[in-house]
Structure 1
Amino acid sequence: MKSYVSIDIGGTAIKYGVIAEDGTILIKDKMDTEAYKGGPEILNKVFRIVENYLEKYKLVGICISTAGMVDTEKGEIFYSAPLIPRYTGTKFKEELERRFSIPCEVENDVNCAGLAERISGAATDSKVTLCLTIGTGIGGCILIDRNIFHGFSNSACEVGYMHMFDSDFQTLGATSILTKKVAVRKQDSEEIWDGYHIFEEAKKGDDICITAIDEMVEIIGVGIANICYVINPEVVVLGGGIMAQDIYLKPKIEKAMKKYLLPSIAERTRLEFAKHKNDAGMLGAFYNFKNKH
């Protein structure tokens, strides 16, 4: 049976596993990224993952989803935030194909998440899809049918840098900002106020938590509306850890979207929450490989 190793490299964790030809995840695991060690050590971790699976599986493809801006033709990182030092210039495709003689494809992690939702998740059959992941920062992906829109220089939909209110989208609307706001207003440590704790307290009626969430929702609504005016998506899919609070957040974000979108657009723009959650990157990397082969 043909098998594919799929590796999703994030700033905190590397999720990885083996996927069958039909898209079934056969086995999966994760390890700490240890981003502070830099790009060369991450590449070594990827080498070890592939080597371990080669002992048990007949691998015909190496599928990589990764943080950072990716040159998808070369399969390398051409820009990375300081979170992962010496990551810019990492040549995954070249290094892995030379070492293992197995085809490798590399794609940005948010693009992979969007592709997974479009093919087998929350946005199946959508003609134009916008996927946003909201976490430490905010990332975006545009899909036309099943194809990722990369733009001229592989930098399309870097919406986190979009200017808003004398700042930018991710500086105002990311989950990390929510936790900082609550901690400051309560004069507590940020370690105490993770996203889960904030939402649990909001559901119990905590005014500070409710207000901070509502402020985040307002920013997300403005950001989504601005993007919708440009690309007019059929479906907006929201992912990221905080989006596990879909029941609490969905009506609030829909209300914010309606506030900032013209009625004729709002009524034809559907909001969904990601279904694949932690498997989205791995699945999207696999789908990306299959699309190219």
Structure 2
Amino acid sequence: MKTVFAFDIGGTAVKFGLVAEDGRLLKQGEVPFERDLAFAALCEQLARLYEDTMAGSPADALAVAMPGFAAPDSGVVIDGGGNVPALRDGSITQALEQRLGLPAWFGNDGVAAALGEVRYGAGQRLNRFVLITIGTGVGGAVIIDGQPIIGRNGHPPELGAIVVGNDDAGEPLSLEARSSAPAMLQAYACQTDAAAVSVRQLFEQAEAGDAAAEAAIDATCRGIAQAAGALINALMLEAIVLGGGVSGAGEALTRRIRMLLPAYVWPSLAAKVDIRIAELGNTAGLLGVASLAFEGLAASTHARGAWQAAKS
């Protein structure tokens, strides 16, 4: 059985793991993302993670999920990806191919996470849904008839750019600016003299009766509900699937969004849509981008077989 070693590079952590063709995660780990790392240092870090994890037993290919839009022909991030600036300075997949001697594939992290859910998680039972990933940034993907909707050149949807209101200066406020993890913590800090806490602690404080924590979470959930409502109204979705680090709050998150959603959705559509947490959690991106590599390996094998048949 073929295996792919996958990386999922985010604004706060680099997740990695060895994925089997049937979707089993055979090995996995996570290290903090160092924002100040230069491109060459990031490449070396990823290569060493592979070498240390595999200990001389090579995978068949590599796969990298990353934020923003990477040029299809090079893998260099050319739009977005502000939380991982080093990816704009070179092709991470080309560098890893040269360093490790393995073929490498790449994809947008939100689209990869949605593919993971479609092929191995919550999306297996859904035809039309949107995955919204909420973490250091906000991303995700639109799935129609089991396939991600992307631009002709591979550009992923920019769900974090959906406008959900106005800021204090009257300027348009994006979903990412309102509902990402940093935005949630900043909203709390603006109401209190307390130091910023983790999102998990914020939910715990809200459950314990902290009004400022509850207000910060409510603002976040209202932004998600507003964006989700627009998508449901336009696309007649079966579900909104929530992923990313903030989705670790589970029912405490989905309960609030369910309560807010009817204000933004046509009633007959609201009655049919489900709000659920991604089944694969933080492994969705790894599994999804690995599936792209498996497809690439299969296509390469088919092409070699066709060439050999034509030659004989």
TM-score by length of 1: 0.90
Instruction: Please give the secondary structure, in 2, of the residue aligned with 1:209.
Output: helix
8 Å contact kept, 2:12–2:32: yes
**Aligned equivalents of 1:97, 1:143: Cα separation in 2:** 30
8 Å contact kept, 2:67–2:84: no
**Aligned equivalents of 1:61, 1:270: Cα separation in 2:** 36
Give the C-alpha shift of residue 250 in structure 1. Answer: 1.8
8 Å contact kept, 1:117–1:276: yes
Question: Who is 2:194 aligned against?
Answer: 188
Aligned residue pairs, count: 291
8 Å contact kept, 2:4–2:20: yes
Question: Who is 2:182 aligned against?
Answer: 176
Instruction: Please give the secondary structure, in 1, of the residue aligned with 2:87.
Output: coil
AA at the equivalent of 2:181: T
Give the C-alpha shift of residue 248 in structure 1. Answer: 1.6
**RMSD (CA atoms):** 2.1
Q: Say whether 1:233 aligns with 2:205.
A: no
Distance 1:197 1:44, change over 3 A: same
Pairwise mapping of residues 40-189 of structure 1 onto structure 2 (< 5 A)? 40-52=40-52, 55-72=55-72, 74-165=74-165, 166-189=172-195
Question: Who is 1:274 aligned against?
Answer: 278
Distance 1:253 1:64, change over 3 A: same
Distance 1:39 1:145, change over 3 A: farther
Give the C-alpha shift of residue 122 in structure 1. Answer: 1.7
Give the C-alpha shift of residue 98 in structure 1. Answer: 4.0
Give the C-alpha shift of residue 100 in structure 1. Answer: 4.1
8 Å contact kept, 1:36–1:83: no
Unaligned 5+ segments in structure 2 are 166-171, 299-312
**Aligned equivalents of 2:26, 2:228: Cα separation in 1:** 36
Instruction: Please give the secondary structure, in 2, of the residue aligned with 1:75.
Output: coil
Residues 211-254 of structure 1, C-alpha deviation per residue, up to 9 Å, x if partnerless? Answer: 22222211111111112233332221001222222222222211
8 Å contact kept, 1:79–1:89: no
**Aligned equivalents of 2:146, 2:219: Cα separation in 1:** 33
8 Å contact kept, 1:3–1:57: no
Give the C-alpha shift of residue 2 in structure 1. Answer: 2.7
Unaligned 5+ segments in structure 1 are none
Q: Say whether 1:242 aligns with 2:269.
A: no
Percent identity between matched residues is 25
* Larger mean Cα displacement after TM superposition, 236-245 or 70-79: 70-79
Structure 2 residue aligned with 1:211, among 212, 215, 219? 215
TM-score by length of 2: 0.85
**Aligned equivalents of 1:148, 1:73: Cα separation in 2:** 20
**Aligned equivalents of 1:176, 1:3: Cα separation in 2:** 35
Question: Who is 2:255 aligned against?
Answer: 251
8 Å contact kept, 2:35–2:85: yes
Bigger Rg, which one: 2
